[in-house]
Amino acid sequence: MKKVTISTLIKMKQQGERITVITAYDASFAKLFDEQGMDAILIGDSLGMVLMGEDDTLPVTIEQMVYHTRSVKKGTQRAFVIADMPFMSYATTEQTYTNAARLMAAGASMVKMEGGDWLLDSVRGLTERGIPVCGHLGLTPQSVHKLGGFRVQGREQQQAEDLINQAMALENAGAQMLVLECVPTELARRVTEALSIPVIGIGAGPDTDGQVLVMHDMLGVSANYMPKFSKNYLALCGDIRKAVSLYIEEVKQGKFPTDEQSFS
Ligand code: KIV
Ligand code: NA
């Protein structure tokens, strides 16, 4: 069993093999996803919503992220482990270094941060100090109050061009992966083609280098509502391992997402 590294994921993009990602927050689920062959596991700050029942991700703390990252790492042998930096834990570069270091020490192999231009110095600084960074553009849930709700981003021409420029700037600053959330299929395709780092989509159509789902959504057990871009695989299979394996198979074969789970 060969460990998945950032080099593995970049090679997968180059070879056109789709990358499968799922969130996990504890050792048991992480182990199950790892055993089914998931390429990467994200300790998402979505845990604020699916574990804690909050309305958004803003109440999540760095201590909680460290705790869950440690748990996920214990259950993971093969998959690449990415941890979210929570709301306002990367407001300054100093805070960014301290908090990213805590997540890495807890077992993450990469940290993820939401934002574009304002983040470039932090992305460059972390990368230079040996901490790989995943960007996150489009619907960035930590900015929900600024965005006026959880809604599709980049539908207007100018917004779309801005997003492409920010994605390229993140890559130039050293980011080694990018998550695109809730953007039209065509925009996600353009970003994926423009970048040489893997682009992982959620509600971003079928043309990204990989897909990520929140585990509670793909098992149909989310406390709140089920997003349009997700799919309840447990309902289709009746067994968690089979559900995870079908998600992986559908992503690898380009059968998920379809238009039904995408935005135009
Ligand atoms: O927190 C999370 O689960 C995420 C994914 C939806 C990408 O950031
Ligand atoms: Na997140």
For the chain, give the mean pLDDT. 97
Kindly tell me if the per-residue pLDDT of 124 is higher than 70. yes
* Predicted confidence (pLDDT) per residue in 240-261, tens digit: 999 999 999 999 999 999 999 9
Query: What whole-number distance in Å separates Cα of residue 194 and Cα of residue 256?
Result: 22
Q: Rounded CA gap, 148 and 172, in Å? A: 30
Q: What is the mean pLDDT of residues 45-56?
A: 96
pLDDT of residue 114: 98
CA distance 50 to 48: 6
Tell me how many degrees the CA angle 167-172-175 measures, rounded to the nearest 5. 70
CB 140 within 8 A of CB 150: no
Average pLDDT of span 126-153: 97
Residues with a beta carbon under 5 angstroms from ion ligand 2: 44-45, 84
pLDDT at 110 exceeding the cut of 70: yes
Ligand 2 mean position to 141 CA, how many Å? 7
SS (H, E, C) 156-167: CHHHHHHHHHHH
Measured CA to CA, the distance from residue 215 to residue 28 in angstroms comes to: 13
Nearest CA to ligand 1 atom 3: 44
pLDDT per residue over 172-200, tens digit each?
999 999 999 999 999 999 999 999 999 99
Q: Which of 179, 216, 229 to mutate to test the pocket of ligand 1 (most atoms within 8 A of CB)?
A: 179
Planar angle of CA 219, 142, 154, nearest 5 degrees: 85
Considering the four listed CATH numbers 3.20.20.60, 1.20.1740.10, 2.102.10.10, 1.10.132.20, the one that applies to the domain covering 6-261 is 3.20.20.60
Q: Which residues are annotated as a binding site?
A: 45-46, 84, 112, 114
Question: Do 245 and 233 touch, CB atoms closer than 8 A?
Answer: no
Helix (H, G, I), strand (E, B) or coil at 258: coil
User: How far, in Å, is the centroid of ligand 1 from the Cα of 45?
Assistant: 6
| Token pair 């990213």: residue | 100
Q: How many angstroms is it from 15 CA to the middle of ligand 2?
A: 27
Hey, what are 30's tokens?
Answer: 């992480």
ipTM for the complex shown: 0.99
Residue 232 has pLDDT above 90, yes or no: yes
Identify which has the larger pLDDT, 141 or 1.
Answer: 141
Would you say residue 153 has pLDDT above 70? yes
Per-position DSSP letters for 195-240, written without gaps between them = -SS-EEEESS-TTSSEEEE-HHHHTT--SSPPPTT---HHHHHSSH
- Nearest residue CA, atom 5 of ligand 1? 44
What confidence tier does 223 reach under pLDDT thresholds 50, 70, 90?
low
Residue 224 has pLDDT above 80, yes or no: no
Q: Where are the domains of the chain?
A: 6-261
125 C-beta neighbours (distance < 10 Å), count: 18
Contacts of 26 (CB under 8 A, 6+ apart): 68, 71, 72, 75
pLDDT at 1: 81
CB contact at 8 A, 95 and 113: no
Tell me the mean pLDDT in the region 144-163.
Answer: 96
Residue 9 host element (H or E): helix 6-15
Half-sphere exposure of 78 (CA within 13 A, CB side): 13
Residue minimizing CA distance to atom 2 of ligand 1:
44
- Which residues sit in the known binding site for 3-methyl-2-oxobutanoate? 45-46, 84, 112
pLDDT at residue 226 tops 90: no
| Nearest alpha carbon to residue 101 among 119, 120, 83 | 83
Q: Which residues are catalytic?
A: 181
With a cut of 90, say whether residue 67 has pLDDT above it. Answer: yes
What is the share, in percent, of the chain residues with pLDDT greater than 70? 99
Ligand 1 shell residues, CB under 6 Å = 23, 42, 44-46, 84, 179, 181, 202, 212, 214
Q: Position of tokens 């996920």?
A: 72
Q: What are φ and ψ of residue 177, in 5° steps?
A: -160, 160
User: How does pLDDT run across 56-65, given as a tens digit for each residue?
Assistant: 999 999 999 9
